[in-house]
Amino acid sequence: MQKNLEFYLLLLYCYLVFKNFFIFFPIHSFDCHTTLKSIHKTLLTLIIAIITFLIIMGLLSFKILGSALRNQAKNHLVSVREIKKTQIQNFFRERYGDINILSKSPLIMQSLPAFASAFKEGGFDNPLYKQTEKDYGYLFVHFMTQHGYQNIYLADEEGFLVYGVKKDTLLGVNLKSRDFISAKINEVFSEGLTRLNFSDLTFNTKTKDFMCLGASPVYDNTNTLLGVVIVEISYSKLDTIVSQWDGLGKTGEIYIIGEDKLMRSKSRFLKENTILKKEIDTKASRDVLKGNTYIQLVKDYRNLPVLSAYTPLDGLRDVKWYLLVEIDEKEVLHPFGVLESYLVVIAAAIIIISIAFHLITRKKSPGIKFLPPSSSNSINEG
């Protein structure tokens, strides 16, 4: 209703401008009695009226078009936010499903006690261990490759890592020992003795990349605990989802933060690594940490005004993450800036043409002769 009222007021203004034009400069007055002074006066009135019109048009355009552009951007950001939220939730659900199936598979139920027994008998160089690895190892390699995991470990109920698809320094260690009491792998192992769980992002010193760890208990057919299966999930799988900025222009960004406000994804604008290093303390981050889902105009971590659509990533079980989708307000209002430039060009063109007309008419004015009113009346009477 308010937009329609503004439009009608604009039309009324245009009507009054042109009505006043014909009052000051009527069509029947375009005869030899019309003086250059009245033309210049009327022309000045028109210039002032047109420039005023353009100014009002610009202000109304800013209010109406700016609001429309923001609403359009908001709807788009909310759509992207919900799509990315679903993709991330599905990613974790699939990983939970994979590990749950793996922990209950005959492969794990048979191989874990075999590896544990061979390891305790003579370590990794024991012929029995090598034969066990030959019997089962290729199956683990196939599963790891098929699902895109970085590594798969088997730990017995005492905490010893008795098998790993990729051989590293962790093999043979006891995860219950003091050296690993604060490590992420110890956390997921401890929880994995009783339930399926996931860790937050952690840095893998072997691959020089970030990863998540997932673990699940392994039971035999009599429901006796055999140990825990642990998988390493590369961050690159998650990065593929978050770093897709299609439809977000040059300044759109998607990123994840944790409860500690540290980024769990890479920044589009900062060259240095931001994962688990860059703290995001903005109005949007503080609000989303309260569990709110919303979209509003705020200043981002670069101190630039952005539209920010955010939501908690619920359904990830042990992982407490929050998703933010943002785009610079300047880019949102770019179409209005183009319109504003056009209005400035039009106003400048009108002024230039008017000045040129004024100079031309002044130059020609000495050669113009006007008939006195009485002569004009005599001719008309004749």
Q: What is the pLDDT of residue 109?
A: 95
Interatomic CA distance for residues 170 and 164, integer angstroms: 9
Q: What is the pLDDT of residue 381?
A: 47
- Which backbone phi and psi does 246 adopt, to 5 degrees? -60, 130
Q: What is the pLDDT of residue 317?
A: 86
Interatomic CA distance for residues 293 and 135, integer angstroms: 51
Beta bridge pairs of residue 309: 295, 325
Q: Are 271 and 133 in contact (CB under 8 A)?
A: no
CB count in 10 Å sphere of residue 294:
12
Q: What is the pLDDT of residue 382?
A: 44
Interatomic CA distance for residues 10 and 365, integer angstroms: 37
Interatomic CA distance for residues 171 and 206, integer angstroms: 13
Interatomic CA distance for residues 21 and 47, integer angstroms: 11
Interatomic CA distance for residues 278 and 346, integer angstroms: 47
Closest CA to 77 of 293, 229, 226: 293
Instruction: Split the chain (382 residues) into runs of 10 and give each run's mean pLDDT.
Output: 47 49 46 54 66 64 65 90 96 93 94 96 93 95 91 95 91 86 85 95 84 95 96 90 88 96 95 94 97 96 96 93 94 64 66 68 53 47 46
Interatomic CA distance for residues 32 and 40, integer angstroms: 15
Interatomic CA distance for residues 69 and 109, integer angstroms: 58
50's enclosing H/E stretch is helix 36-103
Q: Are 48 and 350 in contact (CB under 8 A)?
A: no
> Do β-strands 305-312 and 294-299 pair in parallel, antiparallel, or remain unpaired?
antiparallel
The CATH architecture to which 104-237 belongs is 2-Layer Sandwich (3.30)
CB count in 10 Å sphere of residue 155:
31
pTM, whole model, 2 decimals?
0.73
Per domain, the residue ranges of the chain are 104-237
Q: What is the pLDDT of residue 229?
A: 97
> Do β-strands 305-312 and 321-328 pair in parallel, antiparallel, or remain unpaired?
antiparallel
